[in-house]
A and B are shown apart, each in its own frame.
Chain A
């Protein structure tokens, strides 16, 4: 396969966007099948490029002009994250009907996200990721300008921080290419910038942020697509940082802090989920909750942790697709989704969390406490999920954009995929982990039937399949008829839950007391500065002259 083919996963959605726009301007809406074709073509291209070779491929097309060249790279990490972005995006684009403008912007966003993932260096990732963020904002506002969306300032700050990290690497080491950055160049400040960029890009904060807020929009067409394309990118940066750091972050403290933050993020989401008043409110916290668990394990710095984190992210991608298509009403689809989301055995989420918690104990020292914390949070999620089964549905969604059977199928797939976690680990996660992290002998292994770690062997098939059978039988026996929609009190309420909002309101309403307003009259100041007065000019000149004599 010629290396120019690496452009395909990025170019195909771009071409699709162009075709959609051309037809749209002529008055034809191509429909979701045609729209989704662009994304599915990218999926196909990704598979065709990767599966035959399963080794790193690179393409370099010359300098772009701002210190970086057009370098693309497809390795196991790019393949894994590419699938995480493309598959849910393709699914929602194919099923949900959009006008041609929304479709074009959505497909462009997919192309930009793939560009960020396939980029061979930090600066190019920043450019493409920033583009994806811009398109996400436009997409969300095009759908509904009044509905919640990510803070553009946060997204802009994230990709600007990454750009700065990239140029620092260029200045220090002459390159910002992931494969070429010397380990010594990834200093603590540089990594802090990258980590900050990753956290902001994915909204990985303990309080309610955009990955939760967008699910409260009246329509979830754009929300699902935005989460699918943007949310994995922050984690992508944290994974690539391992490659630049030869398998670890510059200081152990970074592992501890980020992993702890992951627990706190998951905890925050769990607390909000267990106090949600509608099922939609519960589902809004699912992705942030899974993201918290993913961060906890990705940041550990161990091969098993990274494997667990990648599997968790794949699970998050599946749940993104599921939630995008799930209607706001009670029913089996909703129930199965809740079960999958909270990580009931033997779901993929369950397996990923088990492995993730084990990885914290294997990491040793303080990290074991992180695992304990993660387990407690997981229990809280179980409680929240149980409560959510009886909650009222929510505000309702346009039926044209919901596909309950597809949503249930995706959720069910994650439930039954638990026994296949060994396969997912060996075919999907471990190659990516091996690309960025040197593998100590015996760290992670196994095959289809089990996962082998340093301390134990997890017989996934033998353990999870009986659980699956029991679960199916239990569901068949009980069904949904025993579930009654009724308001249930949350397990606990945080006393400071509304404090942030109250503080923001207080700051917004703050004003200068009447008797002091004449001291600082901004209007008068502006008039003086901008009025073209010679005295001010003269004073400025004197100040400049004085400054140069120092």
Chain B
């Protein structure tokens, strides 16, 4: 799963660099993107969770030093909390002691992962006017997916079976929190850029529920959700930045199609992810599937809002949007090759 997500992140970077408006300095975008990719590659190939945490520390410091309106110290807080929690969680897992210590270790790892990505309740501070590279968005949509896949894979090797249930339950619980909080926030918040950020959270909520189910269908759903984040939501967010600044919502057909992509409706990538998630939840505990199905409807009002906020893509952006749509349709109708590649 991790190499596939790394490839997806690379593809997203390529899309962003090639199809970004001419006024955007491609060199800086490419530079920092490649740095991030290098960090992600290091995370994916790291043989232990300790090295992953250390690499995370490097990425956090590098990103915090970027030019921004927010203070250096402020921007470090959430990533450092993540690192500390991951380290403490890992330490608890390695220590011999009562079972509750293993559970605390699981808490640390899950909370640390959530803090690294920037989800509820460990949300990174967000300045809507900030450059995307310096904002929390790369944690959510660029570094986050391979990081999450790697951490969870490594954690499964460290966490004993006694604490496995608690680990899964926490992932699902936090996933539901982000699903509902993110979709409601995306719908009701005043600022459109914040609404985009909330929408990432909502998608992550579904992905976390998928990881928490700990069966093949759940992991498949999580993989597809993360792909839809990296290769769908992230590029669309990047291309919406100009329209967000101009604050001119538009109601063209393309905005509606974008809304459909963001809402996870058929035939886009979010739909099979939702189907797999429902299947996994039904297998384990059907009331969870009921909650998930009801929650999935909350994506719609926010997606319509985000679709309108994108403006009308023109020129290179329009080509980029078309490519993103095509990729999402392909993943939505025929995800089997990706799942086979990921061993699911």
Question: Are the CB atoms of A541 and B275 closer together than 8 Å?
Answer: no
Give the Cβ gap from A188 to chain B, nearest Cβ, in Å: 14
In the assembled complex, which residues on chain B have CB atoms less than 8 Å from the CB atom of A463?
none
B241-291 contacts to A, CB under 8 A, are 251-253, 256-257, 260, 263, 265-267, 271-272, 274-276, 278-279, 282-283, 286, 289
> Which B residues touch A166, using CB under 8 A?
275
**A170–B289 alpha-carbon span in the complex (Å):** 14
Classify the interface of chain B: helix, strand, loop or mixed: helix
Q: Which residue of A lies closest to B163 (CB)?
A: A548
**Interface contact A153-B126, CB-CB below 8 Å:** no
Contact with B along A157-178 (1 / 0, CB 8 A): 1011101101110110000000
Q: Determine if B32 is an interface residue (Cβ-Cβ < 8 Å).
A: no
Q: Does A537 contact B (CB under 8 A)?
A: yes
Does A399 have its Cβ within 8 Å of any Cβ on chain B?
Answer: no
Give A319 Cβ to nearest chain B Cβ, in Å. 28
CB of A530 within 8 A of chain B? yes
Interface pair B124/A160, CB less than 8 Å apart: no
Report the stretch among B19-27, B39-47, B104-112 that lies at the interface: B104-112
Shortest Cβ gap from A534 to chain B (Å): 7
Contact B104 A130 (CB under 8 A): no
B78 sits at the interface (CB 8 A) = yes
Q: Point out the residues of chain B lying under 8 angstroms from A537, CB to CB.
A: 81, 115, 121-122
A140 to B, closest residue via Cβ? B256
- In the assembled complex, A127 has its CB within 8 A of some CB on chain B: yes
Task: Enumerate chain B residues within 8 angstroms of A532, measured Cβ to Cβ.
Answer: 74, 77-78, 123-125
* B120 located at the interface, meaning its Cβ lies under 8 Å from any Cβ of chain A in the complex: yes
Of A105, A123, A164, A522, most buried by chain B (CB within 10 Å of CB) is A164
Distance between B336 CB and nearest chain A CB, rounded to angstroms: 3
Give the size category of B's interface with A: 35 or more
* A64-B334, A67-B217, A153-B300 as given contacts; A544 in contact with B107, CB under 8 Å: yes
Q: Which chain B residue has the least Cβ–Cβ distance from A153?
A: B300
Question: Are A536 and B121 in contact (CB-based, < 8 A)?
Answer: yes
C-alpha spacing A123/B266, complex, angstroms: 11
What sequence of 0s and 1s flags, for each residue 58-81 of chain A, a beta carbon within 8 Å of any chain B beta carbon? 000011111100000000000000
Cβ contact within 8 Å between A548 and B104? yes
Q: Which residues of A contact B124 (CB under 8 A)?
A: 532
Q: B276 contacts A67, CB within 8 Å?
A: yes
Indicate whether B214 reaches chain A with its CB closer than 8 angstroms: no
Residues of B near A157 (CB, < 8 A) are 297
Asked whether any CB of chain B lies closer than 8 Å to the CB of A526, the reply is yes
**CA gap between A268 and B274 in the complex, in Å:** 35
Residues B185 and A526 in contact, CB atoms below 8 Å apart? yes
Q: Is B161 an interface residue (CB 8 A)?
A: no
Q: Is A213 among interface residues, defined by CB-CB distance under 8 A? A: no
Interface positions, chain A 528-550, Cβ under 8 Å from B, are: 529-532, 534, 536-537, 540-541, 544-545, 547-549
Given A138-B260, A156-B265, A532-B77, do A101 and B253 touch, yes or no (CB 8 Å)?
A: yes
Could you say which residues of chain A place their CB within 8 Å of the CB of B121? 529, 536-537, 540
Q: Of A105, A126, A526, A548, which is within 8 A of B170 by CB?
A: A548
- A64 and B333 contact, Cβ closer than 8 Å, known pairs A156-B297, A157-B297, A529-B121: yes
Q: How far is the CB of A521 from chain B (nearest CB, A)?
A: 13
Chain B residues near A171 (CB-CB < 8 A): 279, 282-283
A511 CA to B110 CA in the complex, in Å?
39
B100 at the interface (CB under 8 A from A): yes
A142:B253 contact, CB within 8 angstroms: yes
Given contacts A127-B333, A130-B271, contact A541 B111 (CB under 8 A): yes
- Interface pair B279/A547, CB less than 8 Å apart: no
The secondary structure that dominates the A interface is helix
Asked whether A164 and B289 contact (CB < 8 A) given A67-B217, A137-B256, A532-B123, the answer is yes
From known contacts A130-B267, A141-B251, A540-B122, infer whether A163 and B297 are also in contact, taking CB-CB under 8 Å: no
CA distance A536 to B123 in the complex (A): 10
Pick the contact of B125 from A137, A152, A531 — CB < 8 Å? Answer: A531
B271 A161 Cβ-Cβ under 8 A = no
Q: Which of B185, B188, B275, B286 contacts A67 (CB 8 A)?
A: B275
A470 within 8 A of B: no
User: How many residues of chain A get a CB closer than 8 Å to chain B's CBs?
Assistant: 54
B238 within 8 A of A: no
- Could you tell me if A127 and B271 are in contact, using CB atoms closer than 8 angstroms? yes
Q: Are the C-beta atoms of A65 and B339 separated by less than 8 Å?
A: yes
Nearest A residue (CB) for B286: A168
Q: How far is the CB of A18 from chain B (nearest CB, A)?
A: 12
Does B335 contact A66, Cβ atoms closer than 8 Å?
yes
Nearest CB in chain A to that of B105: its residue: A548
Flag whether B296 is at the interface (Cβ < 8 A): yes
Q: Which of B144-191 contact A (CB under 8 A)?
A: 163, 166, 169-170, 173, 181, 185, 188-190
- Name A67's closest neighbour in chain B (CB-CB): B279
A134 within 8 A of B: yes
In whole angstroms, how far apart are the Cα atoms of A168 and B173 in the complex?
23
Residues 292-303 of B, flagged 1 when their CB comes within 8 A of A and 0 if not, give: 010011001100
Across-interface contacts of B163 in A (CB, < 8 A): 548
B231 to chain A, nearest CB (A): 16
For the complex, give the distance between the alpha carbons of A238 and B111 in Å: 46
Instruction: Give B78's nearest chain A residue, CB to CB.
Output: A532
B305 at the interface (CB under 8 A from A): no
Contacts of B334 in A (CB 8 A): 64-65
Partner of B266, one of A62, A131, A534, A541: A131
Chain A nearest CB, measured from B110 CB (Å)? 7
Q: Which of B305-337 contact A (CB under 8 A)?
A: 333-337
CB-CB < 8 A to B120: which residues of A? 529
Which of B107, B289, B301, B335 has most chain A Cβ within 10 Å?
B107
The 4 closest A-B pairs by CB, nearest first: A130-B266, A65-B336, A532-B125, A167-B279
Sample of 22 A–B contacts (CB below 8 Å): A65-B334, A65-B337, A66-B335, A126-B275, A127-B266, A134-B265, A138-B256, A153-B297, A156-B297, A168-B286, A529-B181, A530-B123, A532-B74, A534-B81, A537-B115, A540-B121, A541-B85, A547-B170, A548-B104, A548-B106, A548-B107, A549-B100
Instruction: List 9 extra interface pairs beyond A64-B336, A141-B251, A548-B163, CB under 8 A.
Output: A65-B338, A101-B253, A127-B271, A160-B297, A168-B282, A526-B185, A532-B74, A532-B123, A544-B110
Contact residues of B with A, CB < 8 Å? 74, 77-78, 81, 85, 100, 103-104, 106-107, 110-111, 115, 120-126, 163, 166, 169-170, 173, 181, 185, 188-190, 194, 217, 220, 251-253, 256-257, 260, 263, 265-267, 271-272, 274-276, 278-279, 282-283, 286, 289, 293, 296-297, 300-301, 304, 333-339
Could you tell me which A residues sit within 8 Å of B by CB distance?
62-67, 101, 105, 112, 123, 126-131, 133-134, 137-138, 141-142, 145, 152-153, 156-157, 159-161, 163-164, 166-168, 170-171, 522-523, 526, 529-532, 534, 536-537, 540-541, 544-545, 547-549
